[in-house]
Structure 1
Amino acid sequence: MDIFAEALEWLVYYCIKRGSVQSIRSWETYGRDAYDYFAFIEANNLDWRSINSRTENRLLAVYRDASMSQFNVGATTINRRLGLIIKFYQYACNRGWVSTLPYELQDVIVRKPKQFLAHTDTSGGHKMRPDVMLKQSRTQIKVLNGEQIADLLKATRDKTLYLMVRLALSTGLRKEEILTFPFKYVINPASTSARSHIVVQLNPAEMNTKGSVPRSIHVPVSVMSALWNYVIHERYQLLARQVTPTDRLFVARHGEAWSLTAKSFNNQLKRLNLPFHVNPHMLRHTYATHTLKSLRQKKGLGFEPLLYVRDRLGHTSITTTERYLHFLHEIEDDLINSYQQEIDAICEEII
């Protein structure tokens, strides 16, 4: 139970001093990942500094293989942990704690960007990559098609859960953003001149956003109207059971705020017993993919659909949003070009 001074110094530097990692949840993840590696080293009587000999130079490879074969950790998680530990060793080398690095760099072929980003690629299709990293298959984005969206909404009887799902499908908000969405953001659409959507500014001082970065979302008028009715009726009645009401929009059955650490949102979706899997992040993927497809089918927009979706989702890099281009074929129904019109029609049918 002694303090690991070197790891602590590096974490303070990496998470706080650099200023580029603003999410406290990311700090926790990095701490856990670092602990997993160094606990493994200690449990196997190894020394993280001894990387000069031929045997000890395989420290990261031994950890990688044990994670995969003994502990059944997935390739994505293993690579995330390895990437973090590699950064630690780079810092340790600069600080003089170690004299060399426990890996070598190898030249690998990378996928070139497509669409309008192609001209920005200067890699020549190659990059240098640590040789200990696992080859990782491309993550398959799970997207609901129109029929599945209809089944999901029809099966959701609870009013609060129903509106949480609808808001996620209509804006692409993350799970934590849905759960901490302030009720003050909900307004009466009749008091505005908006015809299609209402711009809502997400303030990280008032709700959780990834990296505490502010951004704007476009809430369809029909969705805002449903949320306004929820605030006036259902939410008001639920809050009557609480001595200290929450300022969050969505409340649980006894009027309390939804937990950010528990999996209540996921579990409620699971209890719907749908013939397909669904979780909060799939709703975000669904919004992104359907919206991107709908906008790309329209002529004369005057703006790039990919940039629009990027800004709504709050991605820091356009390449993150670009991955949705490769999954447009997952959408099976082409009967309605407008994604939001489709959701509105489904909801009107349910009501």
Structure 2
Amino acid sequence: MELIWATDDFLIAGQPYPGFPILLEDSMESCVPANQFFRNYLLRGAIGSKQSWPSTGRALYDFFSFLRAHELDWRDVDRGEAKSLVAAYRDFCLNECELAPNTTGQRLRYICKFYEFAMREGWVTRLPFAYEERTVRQKTDFLAHIDASGGKATVNDVMPRRTKALPKFLCMTEVKALLAAADNPHHRMMIRLALHTGLRREELAAFPLSYVFDPDKAGKTKHNFRIRLDPFDGRGMKTKGSKLRDIWVSRRFMADLHHYAMKVRGERASLSKSPQRALLLNQFGMPYGEGGKSLNRIISETGRRAGIKVHTHMLRHTYATHTLVSLQRNRTSGLDPLVFVQRQLGHRSIQTTMMYLHLVNEMADEAVLAYDDDLNTIAGAD
């Protein structure tokens, strides 16, 4: 017998609810508790975004697969001095699969929620883990003064210690190699748009054609242009949390975007039976679906040809790091470089943006030129 992961339609009040995860087995009996947990945990809104639902299903699927492979029963929570089932799975993820602690912790979070649900339902008599107090990073926002936690939080004792690794980014030599390897002009513009703006993957995929214009018609005095990313303007833009924000684009890059839109994009646009709102189109003349997941494959493959291990979000880190360095080295106004990068990236908290300060400190001895000028020189006129 094998466990099978499937996505099926779940009925709510007789209506289909697409994309609901279901664990299947030939007998189905041992998967009934997991599926009941899904119905309770997901449909009551514990995870707001339906795009995150599959990760919940995969976590439970992997855990039950681990138990089956080792002939263990998920209800065996009274193991005496033996390692608990959840702790054994944690060590399997960390040591055998070599998963990152944060990835393992994300899986364990769902598994622990499942056991808490199972205990409330009376399926188990105790939890296969305990709770302990750990030190956590304290809040620094405007409500920090009312935080009485003392920097402590109660967590499951099976959770691995969280590590905050610095984000990886590309140096300018690697940026040059990556762009040189992008012989497809559509892929090249995709990479450039990410490097010039720091947009997220789903934002790149949805970036509207209508946001692009001829900078020469906007006046000769402007060196940078503000673009409003508005998910509600009817142009198809998508942002994280559907939050509106402004980004700035240099005059030269806007000119390159306009040239691409007018002279290059039509090759793919002509393949579609109807006009498409997105600037970037796939080989069939359609927008990149599923939040732009295929962008990551395209960028990773381009990086492989260049001898670089890279993914879409690393281009966002690259933009943030080099832009912050350039602004700090070339302060010509009262603008706070960190605040600018925060707004450009759409970070809710300045603390999230501050992680790039650590990268900047590592680059302190490097001669870094203005980032946008470097990119434009490398890319040339498309």
TM-score category (smaller protein): 0.7 to 0.9
Q: Is the 8 A contact 1:21 1:211 kept in 2?
A: no
Partner residue of 1:265 out of 259, 276, 298: 298
Q: Which of 307, 321, 342 in structure 2 is aligned with 1:310? A: 342
1:17 aligns with 2:59: no
Aligned positions, number: 347
Partner Cα distance (1:282, 1:315) in 2 = 16
Structure 2 counterpart of 1:32, from 41, 51, 58: 58
Following superposition of structure 1 onto structure 2, how do residues 132-281 of structure 1 map, counting pairs within 5 Å?
132-192=158-218, 194-203=222-231, 206-253=236-283, 255-258=285-288, 260-262=292-294, 264-270=297-303, 273-281=305-313
Deviation at 1:293, TM superposition (A): 2.8
Letter in structure 2 aligned against 1:188:
D
Structure 1 contact 79–134 (Cα < 8 Å) conserved: yes
1:258 to 1:310, Cα distance in 2 relative to 1, 3 A: same
Displacement of 1:302 in angstroms is 4.8
Distance (whole Å) between structure 2 residues aligned to residue 266 and residue 232 of structure 1: 23
| Aligned residue number for residue 35 of structure 2 | 8
Matched with 1:284 is 316
Q: Look up the equivalent residue of 1:265 and give its one-letter code.
A: I
| Separation (CA, whole Å) in 2 of partners of 1:116 and 1:326 | 23
Contact 2:197 2:248 survives alignment (8 Å): yes
Aligned to 2:21: none
TM-score under structure 1 normalisation?
0.81
Whichever residue aligns with residue 283 of structure 1, its letter is L
Change in Cα spacing, 1:151 to 1:188, as seen in structure 2 (3 Å) is same
**Residue segments in structure 1 that go unaligned for 5+ positions in a row:** none
CA contact (8 A) 2:212 2:257 kept: yes
CA 1:185 to 1:15, structure 2 compared with 1: closer, same or farther past 3 Å? farther
SS for the counterpart of 1:216 is: strand
| C-alpha distance in structure 2 between counterparts of 1:301 and 1:94, whole Å | 59
Distance 1:43 1:342 in 2: 53
Q: CA deviation digits over 1:312-340, x for unaligned, max 9? A: 3233444332322221134363342x322
Cα deviation for residue 41 of structure 1 reads: 3.2
* Contact 2:246–2:344 (CA under 8 A) maintained in structure 1: yes
User: If each structure's strand is expressed as a fraction of its own residues, which one has the higher value?
Assistant: 2
Return closer, same or farther for 1:292/1:17 CA change in 2, 3 Å cut-off: farther
Divergent runs of 4+, >6 A: 112-122
The Cα of 1:310 is off from its aligned counterpart by 2.9
Answer yes or no: is the 8 Å Cα contact 2:276–2:286 preserved in 1: yes
Q: Find the counterpart in structure 2 of residue 83 from structure 1.
A: 109
Output one character per residue of 1:209-232: Cα deviation in whole Å (capped at 9) or x when no partner: 444444433233322221111111
* 8 A Cα contact 2:201 2:293, kept in partner: no
For 1:16 and 1:103, how far apart are their aligned partners in 2? 25
Q: 2:80 aligns with which of 54, 65, 73?
A: 54
Structure 2: distance between partners of 1:221 and 1:119: 43
- Cα deviations by residue, 1:1-23 (Å, 9 ceiling, x for unpaired): 3374543344345444336522x
Give, in whole Å, the separation in 2 of the partners of 1:264 and 1:347. Answer: 21
8 Å contact kept, 2:168–2:317: yes
Q: CA deviation at 1:102?
A: 2.0
1:335–1:181 distance in 2 versus 1, CA, 3 Å: closer
Provide the secondary structure at the position in 1 that maps to 2:126.
coil
Q: For residues 64-93 of structure 1, what are the alpha-carbon distances to aligned partners after superposition, in whole Å with 9 as ceiling and x for unaligned? A: 123344444443322210122223333444
Q: Distance in 2 between matches of 1:129 and 1:212?
A: 31
Bigger relative contact order, structure 1 or 2 (CA pairs below 8 A, ≥6 apart): 1
Residue 372 of structure 2 is matched in structure 1 by 340
For 1:201 and 1:19, how far apart are their aligned partners in 2?
A: 28
Aligned-partner residue type, residue 321 of structure 1: T
In structure 2, what is the Cα distance between the partners aligned to 1:340 and 1:123?
A: 43
Q: What displacement does 1:35 show?
A: 1.9
Taking structure 2 as the reference length, what is the TM-score of the superposition? 0.75
Q: Is the 8 Å Cα contact of residues 51 and 102 (structure 1) preserved in structure 2?
A: yes
Q: Given the superposition, is the C-alpha separation of residues 32 and 275 from structure 1 closer, same or farther in structure 2, using an over 3 Å criterion?
A: closer
CA distance in 2, matches of 1:242, 1:84: 41
